[in-house]
């Protein structure tokens, strides 16, 4: 039960009862008489200074209600005789010095947010790496396909003609085709380790025998797998192909831009492994060539001209193309191309094959081979055209 204390004489206690001490009165449930003056505000007890080792709770009183919201005396002044301070004496406790925290080393701090960020970065890199690997796997299942992002050239020689020549020359071969009319020389590109070689149709057209000389100098017999005269393409394959053939990396000709540096490798005039360089001069040139097999035989007539007739821009070059012709889109280059470069490679500076050289213009009279030479006007079949035609060539080609 809550109790309330009053000072002696503050309120009437009756005629026959006087007490110098406050009397305990029951707490009334009715409001305080509004005619009575309000009680004075409670003044908190001042702090008490004691000896060390003594615990003090000011203003707690002896009969208080602990933590009630109105204090020990319900907001009224404490009685004079009631102590406002509770004092407990305790044995002094020696103060224990607080240890100075040792600063965390950078490595330990890194186990917090920095470590989390590092972990996230590693996971992201792993995911990114996994994605790139997946794409590479998808594109490398076909041994004859790749992208221009592939770098074949050694890092130390990246972007140099010497680096391209060193990396790609082993993939370029010299082709000698023999027929009843004579023989001619052209070039080809190894595209599979089993000995498949891509070249121009006009290089092997009408041939009764085909010899292929590798960059090592060794020669092998080859047979025709398929031809497509409408694209001037042919696929041949080595008989008893040796192991360890260097396969060319086929790029993406759709990514080629005018002004890109390029390298051409072939066997002009039988000079195996000749390397020339230049730029891409133009894209999507309409080049018209003959589809008549007799034109290939005319090239093999032994007069040394070795030039393949073609027409461009309404004019004919290197002779008459005949009445049976086909037109394809070609890359134009100013890299030096000469008779014998036909079927060879046009290469970007990462070592990717971006075209198969097919036609070149010589200002000299076609009957005088001694004065014939490149004037920086050459054409190559885009490698994407070649890749799209490979399945048909392996099946025998459109001319079968």
Catalytic site positions: 202, 232, 342
Compute the distance between CA of residue 81 and CA of residue 74 in angstroms, rounded to an integer.
17
Closest by Cα among 190, 207, 206 to 344 = 190
The strand pair at 24-25 and 345-347 is best described as unpaired
DSSP secondary structure letter of residue 155: G
**Cα radius of gyration (the chain):** 51
Close Cβ partners of 211 (under 8 Å, ≥ 6 residues apart):
175, 176, 178, 219, 220, 221, 222
| CB count in 10 Å sphere of residue 84 | 18
The strand pair at 353-360 and 345-347 is best described as antiparallel
Close Cβ partners of 177 (under 8 Å, ≥ 6 residues apart):
183, 184, 185, 186, 203, 204, 205, 207, 209, 210, 300
Give me the phi and psi of 290, to 5 degrees please: -80, 145
Stated as kind and residue range, the H or E segment containing 310 is strand 310-312
Let me know: does 19 contact 8? Beta carbons within 8 Å: yes
Compute the distance between CA of residue 89 and CA of residue 258 in angstroms, rounded to an integer.
98
Could you identify the residue written with the tokens 């470590």? Answer: 115
Let me know: does 166 contact 157? Beta carbons within 8 Å: yes
Q: Is 210 exposed, middle or buried (0-12, 13-18, 19+ CB in 10 A)?
A: buried
């Amino acid at each position: 039960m809550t109790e309330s204390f009053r000072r002696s004489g503050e309120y009437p206690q009756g005629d026959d009862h006087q007490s110098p001490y406050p009397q305990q009165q029951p707490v009334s449930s009715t409001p305080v008489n509004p005619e009575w003056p309000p009680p004075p505000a409670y003044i908190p007890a001042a702090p008490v200074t004691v000896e060390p080792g003594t615990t003090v709770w000011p203003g707690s009183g002896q009969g208080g209600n602990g933590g009630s919201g109105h204090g020990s005396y319900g907001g009224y002044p404490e009685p004079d005789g009631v102590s406002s301070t509770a004092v407990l004496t305790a044995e002094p406790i020696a103060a224990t010095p607080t240890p100075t925290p040792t600063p965390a080393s950078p490595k330990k701090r890194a186990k917090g947010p920095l470590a989390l960020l590092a972990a996230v970065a590693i996971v992201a890199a792993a995911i990114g790496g996994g994605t790139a690997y997946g794409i590479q796997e998808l594109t490398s299942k076909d041994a004859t396909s790749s992208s221009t992002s592939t770098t074949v050239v050694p890092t130390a020689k990246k972007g140099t003609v010497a680096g391209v020549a060193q990396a790609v020359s082993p993939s370029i071969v010299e082709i000698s085709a023999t027929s009843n009319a004579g023989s001619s020389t052209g070039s080809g590109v190894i595209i599979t380790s089993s000995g498949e070689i891509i070249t121009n149709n006009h290089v092997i057209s009408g041939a009764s025998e085909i010899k292929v000389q590798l960059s090592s100098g060794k020669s092998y017999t080859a047979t025709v797998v398929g031809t497509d005269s409408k694209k001037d393409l042919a696929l041949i394959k080595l008989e008893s192909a040796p192991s360890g053939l260097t396969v060319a990396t086929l790029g993406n000709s759709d990514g080629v831009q005018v002004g890109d540096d390029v390298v051409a490798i072939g066997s002009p005039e039988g000079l195996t492994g000749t390397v020339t360089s230049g730029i891409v001069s133009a894209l999507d040139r309409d080049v018209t060539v003959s589809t008549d097999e007799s034109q290939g035989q005319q090239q093999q007539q032994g007069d040394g001209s070795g030039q393949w007739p073609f027409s461009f821009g309404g004019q004919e070059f290197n002779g008459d193309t005949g009445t049976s012709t086909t037109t394809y889109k070609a890359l134009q280059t100013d890299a030096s191309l000469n008779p014998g470069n036909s079927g060879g490679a046009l290469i970007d500076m990462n070592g990717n094959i971006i075209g198969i050289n097919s036609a070149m213009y010589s200002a000299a009279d076609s009957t005088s081979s001694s004065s014939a030479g490149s004037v920086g006007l050459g054409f190559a079949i885009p490698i994407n055209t070649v890749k799209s035609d490979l399945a048909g060539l392996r099946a025998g080609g459109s001319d079968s």
